[in-house]
Chain A
Amino acid sequence: MTSLASESRSEPASSRAKQVLSRALIYGALLFWAFVCLFPIYWTVTTSFKSAIDVTQGHLIPWLDFQPDWKGWRSLGLSPDTIFETSTARAEFLSRFVNSIITSVGASALGLVLGTLAAYGFSRFQYKFAWMRNDDILFFFMSQLILPPVVLALPFLVLYKALSLLDTRIGLILLYTLTVLPIVIWIMRDQFNSIPIELDEAAYMDGLSIWGTFMRIILPLATPGMVAAFILSLVLCWNEYFFAALLTSTDAKTLPVMVASQTGSQGINWWSMAALSTAAIAPLVLVGIFLERYIVSGLTAGAGK
């Protein structure tokens, strides 16, 4: 837009008009995409308050179009009038919810610890293992990213059966850690590379050991990257469906599996499906709203190179 201004310096009126037009186009595009992003979420949330007739008639705006009601939430046992009563639906939902939290937080934390240590090693030291140098070992880790879940699914099924890890949270945590590890290493290595090595050297001079330097000096500086890596891992683990569907049956079932099993059955109530979907996406939507700036700032360190 600024280039437009300098181009048509001789005709200020038309340049002004052009500028207004380009502003309008920019905001139009922004608003359009915001609508695209928000409408499905809005639709799901409102549908959980609709009765059958409001759904079929495509009513959209609460209080104006239709009278909101706790219908969907009642079927989950989460509406104000049912929250204090016992409800099997709620018990099932809560157990899936807790499973999802434990597996995703556990796997992200484990992945973050393993990945951060390895990333620091890659960014500061030269390793040699047999014929493998730093780049080869790094490639070994990154290549885990391309393994499609289908390749691992069945061997894991058999393996977990032997280890009696089938349908356990620990089993899922181990598997999810594997899937997020390359991403953590990728983000954290860029993060550590952006921290000058002179800091390490100064710390050695002051008599700190390698691990002391890492823990006390470097790690605090790498917090933005760690937060970003943790959130991304959390998103991936929370939303993972494929392994969870194959490796869990009753005890360790996670939320996506529960949502999927409900979608499959015909004649499911729209409002309860909508309530379930809303509850399944709510935690990460909140994470997205409140921690978004950490994702961007954490990734900026890496994407600059």
Chain B
Amino acid sequence: MQNSSPLTDERHDKLTSSRFPISRKNAGRALIAIVSLAALLVLVVQILHTAGTITAGFSDWRPILYAYLLWAIAFGIGQALVREERGLRALFLLPAVLFTVAVVIFPTAFGIYIASLDWNLSSYEGPHFNGWNNLIGLFQDSYYWNALGNMVFYTVSVLAEYAIAFALALLLNTEIRARKLFRVVFLLPLMLSPVAVSWMIGKSLMEYRFGPAATLARYLGWDNPAFFSSPWTARLSIETMDAWVSIPFIMILLLAGLKAMPKDLLEAARVDGATGWQSFRHVTFPLMLPVSITVLVIRIIFKLKLADIVINVTAGGPGGATDTVSSFIYRVYRDRSNVGYGTGLAMFYLVLIIVFLTALLRVSRRWTQRVA
């Protein structure tokens, strides 16, 4: 069950059963039990201390973190001792699992709890339970729905990014001079921090009075090149910046896919007299479909998190036209200190994302099967 080759497994079992005597198993079990008890004890003491029942305890919860770390290490050693070969195999996965559980499960559960609170940091009262009120309030918040609408636009624009990136990948895959140089240059925007980009492009290149982009736009006949004053141009400008940063990522994955493509099929198409477009349409594109879908899904996932450029360039304006859900919630936290409501919005968004991505994956899987 553990390994694909029965032969090696057999050999291993013989070897390991002699290497791991019974006493070791017991030692391992004892180790896990003792350390678990100790960690639990520390936790209980700290909970009681915070609740005010006992005076003994720590000033903050940091020791709990150390206790968890120690417990995780001891648990790993115990696994190796008790379950022998299988324990050693489990050791590959355990660190990542324990880490992720510690940093995700607890905060997410906690987040759901916060989402049900009426908690404003700037108000005097402190948190108190609010039930479903945050959720109800959310449905009447037109700014939130406006931000969700913008997310639809940003997500659909991924297709345009994909088209450009595919064209670039194809260009880089033809016989050209200085290919490596072009590849490096095309990759550079990916390396830049969106915050720096929002200054470099959003605030300086697209500056209304003397930014080069504005100058160019005037030269091309746009009298009033204000990139961030009307809703649609602002949205497009933000999308342009985000595309500029992220097209290289799509491109590089598509390029890797193109390189791994079997050459003989294209060769055959050429022998049959297919034009460039025909061989792309009937050979390259279908073969690249799995890679394309992976890239698109990953890109959409990242797009759904888009925040930093919007926060730094327009802060959601004009009138919320460029707001993403993340940047909107950021402002709810930062400006209104409305912690409970903000977390409620975030949780609702998470549910929407999960539903959307599940549907997307299912549709794309069916589609790939039909084409292939």
**A→B interface (CB under 8 Å):** 1-4, 6-7, 26-27, 29-30, 33-34, 36-41, 43-44, 47, 55-58, 60, 113-115, 117-118, 120-122, 124-127, 137, 140-141, 144-156, 158-159, 162-165, 174-175, 177-178, 181, 185, 197, 201, 204-205, 209-211, 214, 235, 238-239, 241-242, 246, 255-257, 259-260, 263-264, 270, 273-274, 277, 280-281, 284-285, 287-289, 292-293, 295-296, 299-300, 302-305
Query: Which of A239, A280, A289 has the largest count of B CB atoms less than 10 A from its CB?
Result: A239
The DSSP consensus for interface residues of chain B is: helix
Contacts A3-B275, A34-B186, A145-B301 known; A302 to B256 CB distance under 8 Å? yes
What chain A residues lie within 8 Å of B281 (beta carbons)?
Answer: none
Closest 8 CB pairs of A and B: A304-B260, A121-B92, A239-B193, A303-B256, A155-B107, A118-B96, A284-B191, A256-B195
User: With an 8 A cutoff between CB atoms, is B205 at the interface?
Assistant: yes
What chain A residues lie within 8 Å of B88 (beta carbons)?
Answer: 209-211
In the complex, how many angstroms separate the beta carbon of A66 from the nearest chain B beta carbon? 13
- Interface segment out of the listed B23-31, B57-65, B135-143: B57-65
CA distance A2 to B203 in the complex (A): 45
A277 and B200 within 8 A (CB): yes
Report the interface size class on chain B.
35 or more
CA distance A3 to B174 in the complex (A): 13
A148 and B252 within 8 A (CB): no
**B→A interface (CB under 8 Å):** 1-5, 7-8, 11-12, 60-62, 64-65, 85, 88-93, 95-97, 99-100, 103-104, 106-108, 110-111, 114, 167-168, 171, 174, 176, 180, 182-201, 203-205, 209-210, 212, 215, 244, 252-257, 259-260, 270, 273-276, 279, 290-291, 294, 298, 301, 304-305, 307-308, 311-312, 325-326, 329-330, 333, 339, 342-343, 345-347, 349-350, 353-354, 357
What chain B residues lie within 8 Å of A256 (beta carbons)?
Answer: 193-196, 308
What chain B residues lie within 8 Å of A4 (beta carbons)?
Answer: 275-276
Partner of A146, one of B2, B301, B339: B301
CA distance A256 to B210 in the complex (A): 25
Contacts A118-B92, A260-B195 known; A296 to B252 CB distance under 8 Å? yes
CA distance A56 to B208 in the complex (A): 11
Enumerate 30 A-B pairs (CB-CB under 8 Å) in ascending A order: A1-B174, A3-B274, A33-B171, A37-B185, A43-B212, A44-B204, A60-B212, A113-B95, A114-B96, A117-B91, A121-B92, A149-B305, A150-B307, A150-B326, A151-B346, A154-B111, A154-B343, A163-B61, A177-B103, A178-B100, A204-B8, A204-B12, A205-B8, A239-B194, A277-B196, A281-B192, A281-B196, A299-B253, A304-B256, A305-B290
Beyond the given pairs A154-B333, A178-B104, 5 more chain A to chain B contacts, judged by CB atoms under 8 angstroms and listed by A's residue number, are A118-B96, A165-B62, A209-B88, A211-B88, A211-B91
CA distance A175 to B62 in the complex (A): 16
In the complex, how many angstroms separate the beta carbon of A108 from the nearest chain B beta carbon? 14
The DSSP consensus for interface residues of chain A is: helix
What chain B residues lie within 8 Å of A154 (beta carbons)?
Answer: 111, 114, 333, 339, 342-343, 346
A40 and B260 within 8 A (CB): no
Partner of B97, one of A38, A137, A152, A174: A137
B274 and A174 within 8 A (CB): no
Partner of B256, one of A55, A210, A300: A300
